[in-house]
Amino acid sequence: MVALNPRLYVTYNNHNTWKLHVSNVQANDSGTYMCQVNTDPMKSQMGHLSVVIPPDIVDSVTEGSSAQEGGSIRLTCTATGVPPPTVLWRREGNRPIVFRHDGGRERKVVDSYGGESLELSHVQRTDMGAYYCIASNGIPPTVSRRYHVEVHFIPQVKVTNQLVGAPLGSDVELQCYIEASPKAMNSWYREDGKSLLSDKLLENPKLRVKEAHVNVYSIWMNLTIKSLSPGDYGTYLCASVNALGKMESQVSLHRLELSVNGFGAEEPMVSGAAWQRARNQQPATSQAHQYFLTRHLPPQIYALLLTLLRYVNTF
């Protein structure tokens, strides 16, 4: 009976209309209500109340997961509401969700995926990042939760050029690209001639290390050496270490000497082992300045190129 519930009451307009009012509506108020007129014969009319509830995501679910590269990750998002919500998964930045075969080959690539559970198998580092569980049932507001996926792997280190030549007094930049997860310690070192690492290079006016993040797991770490002196030439190591292992790659910085040719112009030359290596590899480059071995150009072209090089270096 309505009289037994203080949140329900009836109003009458002194004519022929009775209204049932429900205050502070609760989920258990849903159901069928009967209006009964005690006449002879008795008359009644039925009415149904459906209480809708906006979606909510259960607080106890895990908000992240991690696995080594090649492993599996399962994300679960439980949502409640009336009517029952629809759960949709999306990646941050509209990046695609990738499903893979046992061998790691892509099986299906989608922009979104429906279901309370999202299972990623044979994960790769490109699967790393934020995933959103979005729950909606037509009753505002739509709710979402952010899950962070981490894919762990041994660091990978690549240098742009393994052999770099530059003359005395010039500036040179050694470039190193690193991919690592979990977070790694990255450093430049000098090699001491016995294939052992000496003290870590410290920041000073002559040396500058600059890091530029590409994404959540990769960065550029470039070393700039200013005003090259004889002691600056040698082997430099770009190293990265995390909980899974260590990786390094080396750059050989050698002196590029300038000699005066018969036309009075300076021309680049290297000697000995450095020249033998240079003949067998791509010419080394650096971002700060670029020097090319041009032994086979005519002397007139030498003079023109070196005049242009000196002009550029004044800026």
Whether residue 101 sits in one domain with residue 64: yes
What is the average per-residue pLDDT within 107-123? Answer: 96
Q: What is the pLDDT of residue 136?
A: 98
pLDDT at 298 > cutoff 90: no
Read off the tokens for 211: 């890091």
What is the average per-residue pLDDT within 206-219? Answer: 93
The amino acid sitting at 231 is G
Whether residue 286 sits in one domain with residue 166: yes
- At 23 the three-state DSSP class reads coil
Alpha carbons 259 and 302: distance in angstroms, whole number: 11
Whether residue 110 sits in one domain with residue 251: no
Nearby residues of 287 by Cβ (< 8 Å), 6 or more positions away: 173, 175, 222
**What H or E segment, with its residue span, contains residue 311?**
helix 299-313
pLDDT in tens, 4-22: 788 998 898 877 888 999 9
Whether residue 91 sits in one domain with residue 18: no
Q: Provide the CATH number for the domain around residue 46.
A: 2.60.40.10
Average pLDDT, the chain: 82
Read off the tokens for 131: 């995933």
Q: What is the pLDDT of residue 308?
A: 62
Whether residue 230 sits in one domain with residue 131: no
Read off the tokens for 157: 């280190």
Whether residue 209 sits in one domain with residue 164: yes
pLDDT at 213 > cutoff 70: yes
Q: What is the pLDDT of residue 206?
A: 86
pLDDT category of residue 129 using cuts at 50, 70 and 90: very high
Whether residue 196 sits in one domain with residue 278: yes
Q: What is the pLDDT of residue 58?
A: 87
Rg (CA), the chain: 36
Whether residue 292 sits in one domain with residue 204: yes
Sign of dihedral through CA atoms 236, 240, 241, 247? negative
Nearby residues of 295 by Cβ (< 8 Å), 6 or more positions away: 269
Cβ-contact 65, 75 below 8 angstroms: yes
**What H or E segment, with its residue span, contains residue 277?**
helix 272-280
Q: What is the DSSP letter of 295?
A: T
Q: What pTM did the predictor assign? A: 0.70
The amino acid sitting at 59 is D
Domain count, the chain: 3
Beta-bridge mates of residue 158: 177
Whether residue 206 sits in one domain with residue 291: yes
> What is the residue range of 36's domain?
2-51
pLDDT at 284 > cutoff 70: no
Q: What is the pLDDT of residue 3?
A: 63
Q: What is the pLDDT of residue 193?
A: 40
Q: Report in angstroms the alpha-carbon separations of 45 from 16, 34, 36, 42.
A: 14, 6, 7, 11
Alpha carbons 282 and 254: distance in angstroms, whole number: 15
* Residue ranges of E strands in 160-217: 163-166, 172-174, 176-181, 185-191, 197-200, 207-213
End-to-end CA distance of the chain: 92
Domain edge (last residue) among 125, 152, 179: 152
Domain edge (last residue) among 111, 134, 152: 152
Cβ-contact 95, 112 below 8 angstroms: no
Cβ-contact 136, 151 below 8 angstroms: no
- At 94 the three-state DSSP class reads helix
pLDDT in tens, 230-242: 999 999 999 999 9
Whether residue 179 sits in one domain with residue 290: yes
Alpha carbons 224 and 185: distance in angstroms, whole number: 19
Q: What is the pLDDT of residue 210?
A: 92
Alpha helical stretches, state H, the chain: 272-280, 299-313
Sign of dihedral through CA atoms 151, 157, 160, 166? positive
Cβ-contact 152, 181 below 8 angstroms: yes
Cβ-contact 167, 255 below 8 angstroms: yes
Whether residue 62 sits in one domain with residue 46: no
For residue 28, give the nearest of 47, 59, 5 by alpha carbon. 5
What is the average per-residue pLDDT within 173-191? Answer: 94
pLDDT at 98 > cutoff 60: yes
Read off the tokens for 21: 């009012």
pLDDT at 105 > cutoff 50: yes
Whether residue 293 sits in one domain with residue 201: yes
pLDDT in tens, 144-155: 999 999 999 999
What is the average per-residue pLDDT within 282-309? Answer: 46
What is the average per-residue pLDDT within 182-208? Answer: 70
pLDDT at 26 > cutoff 50: yes
Beta-bridge mates of residue 108: 99
What is the average per-residue pLDDT within 255-271? Answer: 59
Nearby residues of 249 by Cβ (< 8 Å), 6 or more positions away: 157, 158, 159, 162, 176, 237, 238
Domain edge (last residue) among 92, 126, 152: 152
